[in-house]
Amino acid sequence: MQVAYRAENLFDAHLVKHALEDAGIPAFVFGESLLGAGGELPLFGVLRVCVPDAALPRAQDIVAGLDLAGAGEDPISDGDPEPGFLPA
């Protein structure tokens, strides 16, 4: 098995897993059961979505199309210099 995606959180890991399975690629989330032991493990790099060796190139194309680059702009503060403060 090869790592198709290293997830930062469980939601992204399962999003990728389900997208791969919808495309007919068997996928498995490694590290899911280790999340409860976070005090003893590193914070990042625990969750990995793995696929069979032969399916890796196709899986990488699917993962690239999911747009999991990050949160981007903060929708709450809306660029406000002092977020959280409301006018009286």
Q: What is the CATH number of the domain that holds 30?
A: 3.30.70
Residue 69 maps to a domain: no
For residues 27 and 49, is the Cβ–Cβ distance under 8 A?
yes
Residue 44 maps to a domain: yes
Q: pTM for the whole thing?
A: 0.69
Strand intervals (E) in 1-88: 2-7, 28-30, 47-51
Residue 9 maps to a domain: yes
Residue 58 maps to a domain: yes
- In which domain, by residue range, is 54 found? 2-64
Residue 14 maps to a domain: yes
Residue 29 maps to a domain: yes
Task: Give the torsion through C-alpha atoms of 39, 69, 15, 77, to 10 deg.
Answer: 80
- Is it the case that residue 61 has pLDDT exceeding 80? yes
* Residue 40 identity (one-letter amino acid): E
Per-residue pLDDT tens digits for 1-47: 999 999 888 889 999 999 999 999 999 999 887 766 555 555 566 78
For residues 43 and 8, is the Cβ–Cβ distance under 8 A?
no
Domain count across the chain: 1
Helix then strand count (H, E) for the chain reads 2, 3
